Amino acid sequence: MDAYGGNDEESAELRKLLAEVNDDSDNFEIWEKLVRAAEALEGGINRNSSSQAITAVRSVYDRFLLKFPLFFGYWKKYADLEFSIAGTEAADMVYERGIASVTNSVDLWTNYCSFKTETSHDSDGIRELFERGAVCVGLDFLAHPFWDKYIEFEERMEGFDRIFAILGRIIHIPMHQYARYFEKYRQMAQSRPLSAIAPPGTLTQLQMDIENEGAGYKAGRSQPEVERELRTRIDNYHLDIFRRTQNETTKRWTYESEIKRPYFHVTDLDEAQLTNWRKYLDFEESEGDYTRTQFLYERCLVTCAQHDEFWLRYARWMLAQPGKEEEVRNIYQRASCFYVPIALPTTRLQYAYFEEMSGRVDVAKDIHDAILFQLPGHVETIVSLANINRRHSGLAAAVAVYQSHLESPSVESAAKAALVAEWAKLLWKVKGSTEEARQVFQTNQHLYLDSPAFWSSYLRFEIEQPTSSETEQQHYEQIRRVVDEILTKSALPEAIVQELITAYMRYLLERGTKDAAKEYMNLDREINGPMSVQKMPKANLETGKTLVGAVNGQTPAAPIFKMCGIFGYINYLVEKDRRFILDTLLNGLARLEYRGYDSAGLAVDGDKKNEVFAFKEVGKVAKLRELVEKSGVDMTKVFDSHCGIAHTRWATHGQPSRLNCHPHRSDPKWEFAVVHNGIITNYKELKALLEGKGFKFETDTDTECIAKLAKYLYDQHPDIDFTTLGKAIIKELQGAFGLLMKSVHYPHECIAARKGSPLVVGVKTAKKMKVDFVDVEYSEDGGALSAEIANHNVAVKKSTAGLLAPNGMLAPPDKSLLHRSQSRAFLSDDGMPQPAEFFLSSDASALVEHTKKVLYLEDDDIAHIHDGQLNIHRLTKDDGTSNVRAIQTIELELQEIMKGKFDHFMQKEIFEQPESVVNTMRGRLDVANRTVTLGGLRQYMSTIRRCRRLIFIACGTSYHSCMAVRGAFEELTEIPISVELASDFLDRQAPVFRDDTCVFVSQSGETADSLMALRYCLERGALTVGIVNVVGSSISMLTHCGVHINAGPEIGVASTKAYTSQFVAMIMFALSLSEDRLSKAQRRHEIIDGLAKVSEQFREILKLNDSIKEMCAKFLQNQKSLLLLGRGSQYSTALEGALKIKEISYLHCEAVMSGELKHGVLALVDENLPIIMILTRDDIFPKSLNAYQQVIARGGRPIVICNKDDPEFPPSKTERIEVPKTVDCLQGLLNVIPLQLIAYWLAVAEGLNVDFPRNLAKSVTVE
């Protein structure tokens, strides 16, 4: 591919992408770009393209499909391309390669057969192709498109006998739409001869039954009567078949309905999908039908091709079938050569064991060599190869394997250390030579002085040696020698040395001699006793002084951070086993997945006192769940009280890795564990200070300094209570954060703190709570007191000096004063705390399945959960700050955040819009009386009417919704309106005055730029209004007043229903503002009448879903760019549509104001450029129509969004999407829905992740 065709720029781009593919051949996105770039050479490949360009695109497709052979959609695209280049025969060859690669793809077989019926006149050849497809995919539960195409072909050929025969096969297959096929078969059977509608044996038996029952010819009945009786009985025979098969269909439907992605993709399936496949395979195996079970495995291994567990399971099942050795070999070969990544070598090792079992030892060794060629130094493979050599060639051959890899420069030091340990184990366990094994360790130790694996194996080797009373002293001396070498020779980190010495100390107590206790105590003092950290100046927790001072005399402003997810669960006097606790934490994280993250982790109590079990994993929550399941921890252990914390992380400090994953620990014993959202801006100063005093940091994160700071403060004041400790920590932290902390020193307790990051507490009690609020407790003079000694929000009346010891340090608190104030909400009738469960999360949607009683923490709140109670503390009391936090009831339902029958959340949310806009208007819009009531604005409405100007400030989709209603506000209120992008507003430092009203629009209420702009406006005294979807969000709490749009949870990253609900909410805002203007009354009535009809009009538009899907496939798919034209209020619709298309389909789309077309954009227009024009009727329709005529005159073929039955755009001449007509200022509500559907179907056609587009997160909470 030295010559590519196309211009120099295209060739350079293709070479660049080829180089990227060669560097990272597993990166699907780069491959995708490469395919698109090749297809676009010379303006799009066709039969007139140069031979170089055609060769280039073929080469790219061949390489791509060799790498990803299961992508059936790309086989079809390749075949279509070949058909356009070289004709039918070339396309046939591509299809044949495709069905050889993904044999059981219903879609590919259906496309191939359909292509054949359209391009060939050889009916026998087509029929033969259909029969081949029937063998490959006919048993698929979703094979109905294929069977429909086969029957359609035979109908065209008028082969009714063949159709009946096809239906006769289908009625025995459990499949989707089975009843439809049976009914058609039953109808056709009525006109078919008897010999054709029942097997000969069955027919004979039924005839005999009729005669034996005296209902036949011998009873004098005529032939027609006997035949009618016989047909009735044959029909009953068929009905028996129907009932059996329908029952089989019903049994499988449960599993089939849960399969959300039946095709292959490079992204991992979520755990729920994998679990469903496991259960489905269990069911089919238990049914005992070999053919159906094999077929289901083959289906599963398209979807789950990269999950080695299913290949291994398939091979094991097949091996259990008699005489299937070659089939097993084929399974292992496909998995090893094509699908399972080399980074997961288990399947290949199993393949090697199978070949060894089959007597092909050389092949087994070759498989090991192939793994090691790609993964040099893979310890498990080297050990396995050594063992094969030992089994077949003796011990010396195994030793030779170890030696050769220890001498190899391609094997890393850490792997070599592990191999030394395995070599020694071989000599010890197999040969029985302890001395030779010890010699291996001793002669190699100088090479691995910094290897924890080496020293751990060496120490374990000596400790595990068998001993007796006669040899115990010698055994002790051998172990002690290793310990001395660890202390004097090794170059291990201090934490690792401590862990190894601790293991030795356990040996001393369990098996040591009479002097063991003395040695144990000496080591304990040396390892765990006074350390350099105690020389660190002790912090005074009573004063306002901090460990790390402000920068340049100023406290930095709190930054906004990238959103992660926090979840915590605390049960008090409510017995729960570990399985329940872990599932609760994992499910909580799963509910937060939509926010975007790169790793996940959790921490729970261990089996022993002061023990913590922590699990961390890079990737999806499903991988963390798998790690937990494989850990072997006792899931049945019951806790009557417990605290567990969990986290999904989006890296801000330190790359994604298990090490950097939360929770973070204070020390190897996990004395304190922390999960944290946000950025600690002074973490470098804190880290440097703590490192200088002896603390060793394990990670690159800012969070670790919180945990280590907690340990430092606790070590200085071991009698401190958790509340005071939490306050002292928070006082030291600068930045924005939401955090949870647990500690072995405060079992079953949790500290939760919020500053700039949302945090909500869910409460679940067996009995109704006394009150629906929690008091806020304040520290005296802003100090973090040693104990809160007063009830009901009365601060300690005691001087700071009285709390200090003579040395100036915090004095141990008076134990008699160490009782906390009790939350009235959580007390039982006798005044004692009652059993309770608490759920903490950064998002209320993660709590709805557990409780609907929630409390939103405010900035600077520090919550302490203990003994079934929730206390809220603040360091200082600000003017205007409420003294209580309300316990609210959220109206969210669990099913509202699940996908239901839809394939994606975005699709579900598009189709929810008829209901979501009604929810926005419910209780606010009174159509009968033509009034609007917005309770959240009532108190401030007169002030807003008097304002000098209204400034709408937002980002992204919310900005577009503001643009959409600007004209309505100007018309109805006659107040000057400006619409600002929050980031630009801040960059300009735009002037804001006290008599301005600033409206902040945000779906999440946490948008970073909007929050910063809000604070900017508050500082300048402007009245602020929030229009948000999330109750308790930062914008909703910081603004003076506002409107909740009540659209329900929006999970998909691309906003859909929030846009239309924002639109409606702001229109109602404008209507309410203008209700005192009599001159606008008629106009207001028209708009209110229009709002009343919007929901039904939405439903009408959504019926166009299928036709829009077809239009996308026909005109927009595989394009490189798209123009969207709108004018007036429809320009904002075009902006929103373009954003949606860019966000999720990755297709470049530009929104252009139609009036600007002639100012440069018109140069782009030709017959090849796809254009969508919004041309619904309004006052400026003639001007918009002028733009349409300009496009048509230059050969453009625009898709037009117009009003229903508009004569200006006859269907014969224009591709059009018809929408109902409404009031002009509401028309954008209707026009945007087709654009949402276009964006969705374009993304689906490309196999993209619609709900989680690359590089984007739902809550954009970073600057």
Q: What is the pLDDT of residues 817-843, one digit of tens each?
A: 333 345 555 655 555 678 999 999 988
Average pLDDT, the chain: 85
Model confidence at 1074, pLDDT cuts 50, 70, 90, reads very high
Model confidence at 898, pLDDT cuts 50, 70, 90, reads low
Q: In terms of Cα–Cα distance, which of 1100, 1110, 1042 is closest to 1072?
A: 1042
* Lowest-pLDDT choice from 416-420, 1134-1138, 1231-1235: 416-420
Same domain, 593 and 725: yes
Same domain, 1139 and 1045: no
Same domain, 444 and 516: yes
Write down which residue in 172, 192, 212 finishes a domain. Answer: 192
State the helix-helix crossing angle for 271-287 and 290-303, rounded to 10 degrees: 170
In-domain check, residue 1047: yes
Same domain, 478 and 346: yes
In-domain check, residue 970: yes
Confidence check: pLDDT of 1071 > 90: yes
Confidence check: pLDDT of 751 > 70: yes
Per the listing, tokens 């799009």 go with 44
- Can you tell me the distance from the alpha carbon of 126 to that of 117, in angstroms, rounded to the nearest whole number? 7
CB 519 within 8 A of CB 512: yes
Same domain, 746 and 835: yes
Q: Which two tokens stand for residue 121?
A: 């006149």
CB 389 within 8 A of CB 398: yes
Number of other residues whose CB lies within 10 A of the CB of residue 12: 12
- Can you tell me the distance from the alpha carbon of 841 to that of 846, in angstroms, rounded to the nearest whole number? 7
Same domain, 1075 and 1160: no
- Can you tell me the distance from the alpha carbon of 1143 to that of 1149, in angstroms, rounded to the nearest whole number? 10
Same domain, 1123 and 1167: yes
pTM above 0.75, yes or no: no
Q: What is the pLDDT of residue 310?
A: 94
Compute CA 692 distance to the chain's CA centroid, rounded to the nearest angstrom.
Answer: 40
Write down which residue in 1036, 1066, 1090 finishes a domain. Answer: 1090
Model confidence at 1042, pLDDT cuts 50, 70, 90, reads very high
Write down which residue in 877, 912, 940 finishes a domain. Answer: 877
Helices (H), 717-809: 722-732
Q: Which two tokens stand for residue 15?
A: 């070479």
- Can you tell me the distance from the alpha carbon of 494 to that of 492, in angstroms, rounded to the nearest whole number? 6
663: preceding bond cis by omega (within 30 degrees): yes
- Can you tell me the distance from the alpha carbon of 412 to that of 342, in angstroms, rounded to the nearest whole number? 18
Q: Note the pLDDT tens digit of each residue in 614-651.
A: 999 988 888 999 999 999 899 999 999 999 999 987 65
Confidence check: pLDDT of 814 > 50: no
Same domain, 720 and 617: yes
Domain containing 494 — which CATH number? 1.25.40.10
Q: Note the pLDDT tens digit of each residue in 197-226.
A: 888 888 888 888 887 877 776 677 788 888
- Can you tell me the distance from the alpha carbon of 743 to that of 720, in angstroms, rounded to the nearest whole number? 13
Q: Which two tokens stand for residue 599?
A: 């790793």
- Which residue range is the domain that position 908 belongs to? 897-1090
Q: In terms of Cα–Cα distance, which of 373, 405, 376, 377 is closest to 389?
A: 405
- Can you tell me the distance from the alpha carbon of 269 to that of 301, in angstroms, rounded to the nearest whole number? 12
- Could you tell me which residues are beta bridge partners of residue 638? 577
In-domain check, residue 273: no
- Can you tell me the distance from the alpha carbon of 1253 to that of 463, in angstroms, rounded to the nearest whole number? 53
In-domain check, residue 863: yes
In-domain check, residue 59: yes
Domain containing 977 — which CATH number? 3.40.50.10490
In-domain check, residue 1208: yes
Domain containing 857 — which CATH number? 3.60.20.10
Confidence check: pLDDT of 562 > 70: no
Catalytic site includes residue 564: yes
Per the listing, tokens 């360009």 go with 53
Q: What is the pLDDT of residue 537?
A: 35
Same domain, 1179 and 1072: no
Number of other residues whose CB lies within 10 A of the CB of residue 219: 12
Q: What is the pLDDT of residue 533?
A: 33
Q: In terms of Cα–Cα distance, which of 860, 890, 901 is closest to 752?
A: 860
Same domain, 62 and 119: yes
Q: Note the pLDDT tens digit of each residue in 176-204.
A: 888 889 999 999 998 888 888 888 888 88
Per the listing, tokens 């279509």 go with 80
Same domain, 829 and 924: no
Contacts of 451 (CB under 8 A, 6+ apart): 413, 414, 417
Q: In what order do the strands lie in the sheet with 1199-1203?
A: 1148-1153, 1121-1126, 1171-1174, 1199-1203, 1215-1219
In-domain check, residue 923: yes
In-domain check, residue 479: yes
Contacts of 1031 (CB under 8 A, 6+ apart): 844, 856, 888, 890, 1044
Percent of the chain with pLDDT over 90: 47
Compute CA 1087 distance to the chain's CA centroid, rounded to the nearest angstrom.
Answer: 40
Q: What is the pLDDT of residue 783?
A: 43
CB 581 within 8 A of CB 568: no
State the helix-helix crossing angle for 88-101 and 106-119, rounded to 10 degrees: 160
Q: In terms of Cα–Cα distance, which of 677, 743, 734 is closest to 710?
A: 743
Residue 999 three-state SS? strand
Q: Which position among 136, 564, 947, 1041 bears the catalytic label?
A: 564
Same domain, 1127 and 1219: yes
What is the number of domains present in the chain? 5
